[in-house]
Amino acid sequence: MIIRNASMQDLDIVTHVEAVCFPEAEAASKKTMKDRLSVYPEYFWIIQDGETVIGFIDGPVVNQPAIIDEMFANTSMHDKNGLYQSVFGLSVLPEYRKQGYASKLMEALIEDARKAGRKGCILTCKERLISYYEKFGYQNQGVSKSEHGGAVWYDMLLEF
């Protein structure tokens, strides 16, 4: 298993993983993924099994303690010196789930955020995933203002 930062050469595979792991209304498009890889590749981690990309975690660094919908399409909100590492997606291909790969990705993101001196990490999730993220120390902040993909999201905050 290898965890590494993504590059533009990974565009097709991360777009594929995103499409497999999220409903169409929630999945980022290839153009959106290209924008993210152009602006913040160092905040886009990929996990590989041998040469096979099996998942990723990504998100910009921002200055507010909650994700807002504008962030998903507006990469200019990324601030490499920002206070919070966000998580837009934690995706692992179905055949590799329940083997600890998602946890390894989250741990890598948290470790990098701590080393960078961030105040914490933020994400939104569906209700069924709240307890999963609480295992990493995230705290449920309640229903999010985000209406991304027409779903109900919960704001999760991990403070260092």
DSSP 33-84: HHHHHHH-GGGEEEEEETTEEEEEEE--EESSSS--THHHH-GGG--TT-SE
In the chain, what are the domains? 2-123 (3.40.630.30)
Rounded to whole angstroms, the Cα distance separating 42 from 15 reads 17
Residue 32 burial by CB count (10 A; 0-12/13-18/19+): exposed, middle or buried?
A: middle
pLDDT at position 149: 87
Nearest Cα to Cα of residue 88 among 61, 116, 114: 61
Single pTM value for the model: 0.93
Q: What is the mean pLDDT of residues 11-31?
A: 94
For residue 81, what pLDDT is reported? 96
Each residue's pLDDT tens digit, 26-77? 999 999 999 999 999 999 999 999 999 999 999 999 999 999 999 988 899 9
Asked whether 34 and 8 are in contact (CB, 8 A), the reply is: yes
Structure confidence by residue, pLDDT tens digits, 85-108: 999 999 999 999 999 999 999 999
Task: Give the single-character DSSP code of 29.
Answer: P
pLDDT single digits (tens) 105-141: 999 999 999 999 999 999 999 999 999 999 999 999 9
Query: Which pairs count as long-range contacts for 128-131, CB under 8 Å and 24+ apart, including other chains?
Result: 130/154, 130/156
- Give the pLDDT score at 50: 93
| pLDDT score, position 73 | 83
Whole-angstrom distance, CA of residue 130 vs CA of residue 111: 20
Beta bridge partners of 44: 58
Rounded to whole angstroms, how far apart are CA atoms 108 and 114? 10
